[in-house]
Amino acid sequence: MKRLVIASIPLLFLAAAEAQDLADGPGKDTFVKICSACHDAAVVVTMHNSKDDWQATVDDMKGRGAEGSDDEFKAIIGYLAKYQGPEVNVNKATAKDLETQLEITTSEAAAIVKYRQDKGDFKEWADLQKVADLDIKKIEPLKGRITF
């Protein structure tokens, strides 16, 4: 019995650490409120899905007993589609994809493409911060979706 208690302590820390990794943004509070009723809301933190797939997951959870209003579920799907949306490889994505996926301007997307053409592939987040014409604060909340 004692061993079981001790073994569960690191798991609790892990759950707390994961919860902090959830991106801040519209719909987060609704998501945490409704989606942590049965399991830690942070189960989604490493998942990257399209809006349609999130819609399907949320429908599945409704079938399992998740309770909320239509507006609340809409907010949850919006939150997940944005912050847990598909991954974006900043070295391979086209300017158009960068623009739509990361919700940046046409000129910011062009600046990312120009930077990688001039200087080679981005290797880490710090490289993206060097793109002068990109407002890095805008894409900071989407950090979890960006790959190199």
User: Which residues in this chain contact ligand HEC in the complex, by CB under 6 A?
Assistant: 34-35, 37-39, 43-44, 47, 57-58, 61, 64-66, 76
Q: Which amino acid is at 36?
A: S
66/95 with CB nearer ligand HEC: 66
64/137 with CB nearer ligand HEC: 64
What's the burial of 135, exposed, middle or buried (CB within 10 Å: 0-12/13-18/19+)? exposed
CB of 62 to ligand HEC, least distance (A): 7
1/65 with CB nearer ligand HEC: 65
CB of 137 to ligand HEC, least distance (A): 27
116 contacts 122 by C-beta, under 8 angstroms: yes
Nearest to 60 by CA among 45, 46, 80: 80
